[in-house]
Amino acid sequence: MARESAIPVIDLFAGPGGLGEGFASTLSRSGTPVYRIALSIEKDPHAYRTLLLRSFFRQFADAAPQDYYDYLMHRIDSVDALFDRHPTAAEAARSEAWQGTLGKAAPQTINRRIDEALARSRPTPWILVGGPPCQAYSVAGRSRMNGSASFADDERHTLYREYLRIIRRHQPSVFVMENVKGLLSSKHRDRLILDQILRDLSRPTRSLKYQLVALDYDDTGLFEAPEFEPENFLVHAERFGVPQNRHRIIIVGVNSSFRSTMQTSSLRLTRHDALTTCRDVINGLPKVRSSLSRGLELEGAWQRHMRSAVRAQWVRDVEQLHSVDLAKRIRQNARETDGTLGIGGRFIEADPSLPRHSEWFNDPRLPGVCNHETRGHIPADLHRYLFVSTYGECKQVSPRLRHFPDALLPAHSNVAEARGNGMFNDRFRVQLWDQPATTVTAHIAKDGHYFIHPDPTQARSLTVREAARLQSFPDNYFFEGPRTEQYRQIGNAVPPLLARQIAAVVASFIDPSLSTH
């Protein structure tokens, strides 16, 4: 299948492009793309730059040029310089990836861009994917906004209506809509938001009807209003090879004029037999140490501070709170810290090969890893990270604040409450080697306390590349913008490996001859 004859995809609220990447990377058995991204729309300037660069990467039918890899390795110092060397591909990428704000841009402009993107493909099937921003739907988001007069009027409650307007106007053959689990309980003016979304999506107009399909449901997965059970649309990403316990609402809609209800029973994801763990995807990355923030990064300071734990009172307190063995392991890990480790960087030469999923993550043309730089931590946090990660290493569970020795407790006003069973009693959370990670969220951009690396001798939070691997982004996927924005992009993204499996079942449904691999 030539790229121009591939099934077109329109990606709304695209972020850095995780959902689109899953579709774009889906190949037929002959190795040709099943889909092409006809248009992706994203408002955030940093995510858009990531999206644009990935679009450029995909413009080359056989393989990206060496210049792309030289840019990742910082041998070419700007995207503009890269694009200047390949103007045709750059122009195509700019046509495909559009920085625009849905809900604010004029509907006529959006309609025109979609019509232009699909002009070469009609009347062949096409796919609409994406999801509105999720912060207002999340449990944490609602807890911050409850009591605020602006909550009921927050535009993020109604951005799905722009998605719905596009469905009404352009009538895709199939749509895929993703959003957070918090939608299951989120209300707007005393009505469950998801109930209304499901009803709207199933019957956008009187004459337009969509069959809604639940991809990860033990029964038939077919629903019609008013028989919706919103929980049935929850997808557990860890069941499908993603190394992360990520639970998201994913709704697939099939245009009734395109396929009959009975045929949609084939739209089911196949669960994997084994879980993919943190060890499977981040253990092979280069070891790096945390850096010290607030101007404290002096020669040898990191290792001296780490090794000071050997004689620290808080470690003796661990003997009383927990066990002599745990305290002994903390001291051993402190002694084994390596002061010669670097703090990483934009690119590090290394062998990043993996024992599992190497064909998905690794690129033999990239002799190292990108976006693998640690953030700075205050000295007190280094000992906290040492304690938390050693606790996880020994007990195979992340400790709560009630397990902390007093000397390591943060100086926050709500610590006493949290030490009970209050909110944020897992303020410091280590990821465990032999389990999938906890949900990687946009909060990782804040301080990293919820995403502590499982190796105590590195005493740090996850790097952008480690977070990207837990979100199943390939290693040649480069994230643009300041590091905080890179984290935010990853936390808000759809795991591409999950998206590719969704794309595969949609392809087989559209045309059974499109067997994918």
Which residues are marked as active site?
A: 134
Determine whether 283 is exposed, middle or buried from the number of CB atoms within 10 Å of its CB (0-12, 13-18, 19+). Answer: middle
Residue 163 C-alpha from the chain's centroid: 21
Is 187 in a helix, a strand, or coil?
strand
Radius of gyration of the chain (CA): 24
- The partner residues of 179 in beta bridges, in order of sequence, read 249
Those residues with Cβ within 8 angstroms of residue 182's Cβ, 6 or more apart along the chain or in another chain: 134, 137, 138, 139, 141, 142
- The partner residues of 387 in beta bridges, in order of sequence, read none
Among all chains, which residue has been given the structure tokens 């995809």? 9
In whole angstroms, give the CA distance from residue 477 to residue 16: 10
Element of type H or E holding 166: helix 160-170
Among all chains, which residue has been given the structure tokens 């590091």? 483
Determine whether 315 is exposed, middle or buried from the number of CB atoms within 10 Å of its CB (0-12, 13-18, 19+). Answer: buried
Q: Please state whether the peptide bond connecting residue 243 to the residue before it is cis, i.e. omega within 30 degrees of 0.
A: no
Those residues with Cβ within 8 angstroms of residue 497's Cβ, 6 or more apart along the chain or in another chain: 22, 240, 241, 242, 357, 360, 472
Pairing of β 222-223 and β 210-213: antiparallel
Element of type H or E holding 317: helix 313-321
In whole angstroms, give the CA distance from residue 56 to residue 480: 14
Is 32 in a helix, a strand, or coil?
coil
